[in-house]
Structure 1
Amino acid sequence: MDLRLLSYFSVVAQERHVGRAAQRLHMTQPPLSRAIRQLEDELGVVLFERNRSGVTLTAAGEVLREEAAAVLDRVEVMQTRVRREAGAPALSVGSRSCRPVSGARPARPRCRSGRWPTRPTWGVAVWWQPSVRGTRTWR
């Protein structure tokens, strides 16, 4: 089963309208309708009841909506873990409630063990004061 088709199905199920789903996916409606029909043919079930005001999920469509959401969430977690393990840069955002010492650099983010990160890390420190707002970025 193609993850792209599951993703398209999920958006149509959320929007309950093929035209709005197509806009959200930055595509036109005919290819999206073909993709949904392809998924229905592959599964051998009807996923949506189509009417003039949009679409309604069938019982099979409801089951697929729940399962597709779980699969797509799991794929996203997998991609994140693989990229992290491969050393892809990460973004750390921190907030300071007190004013930093004049001219001092904010502390770099540390791993839970207290050591410096071994992978490339982008960090942004933000502090707020009544009269001064600032940000510092380091790599």
Structure 2
Amino acid sequence: MAWLVLLCSAVLEAVWATALSASEGFTRLGPSILFAVATAASMAGLAYAMRRIPLATAYAVWVGVGASLTVGWAMLTGAEAFSWPKLALIAGIVACSAWLKALGARDAAAVPGDAAATPGATPPRPGDLQ
């Protein structure tokens, strides 16, 4: 559930970033209101997700997916020029976010202190401080 909320929050990040641009320095009421609502909802979702997902992972995924969606939307609407290298780099950001999720799932499956669950770890010896 936390991952779904995090992804929804990332979508809202793209919404508020786009609304911020459309607000023209908060001189347009509609985009300014959308910015405020989307920002509050995005931050609330990020905070909720951080209850279950480590800070660094949650923030990296939130920023990466949100920024990718923002640039993707800008290219689709013509606000930003399209290029294949840019698209490939954005896909790389999304792939890295998915990889962070996969690593998080693997780390969550590991039992703390279980050497078999942690690759490269050595089992504690009698007398080691734990």
| TM-score after normalising by structure 2 | 0.30
Higher relative contact order (CA 8 A, sep 6+): 2
Structure 1 or 2: larger strand share?
1
Structure 1 or 2: larger helix share?
2
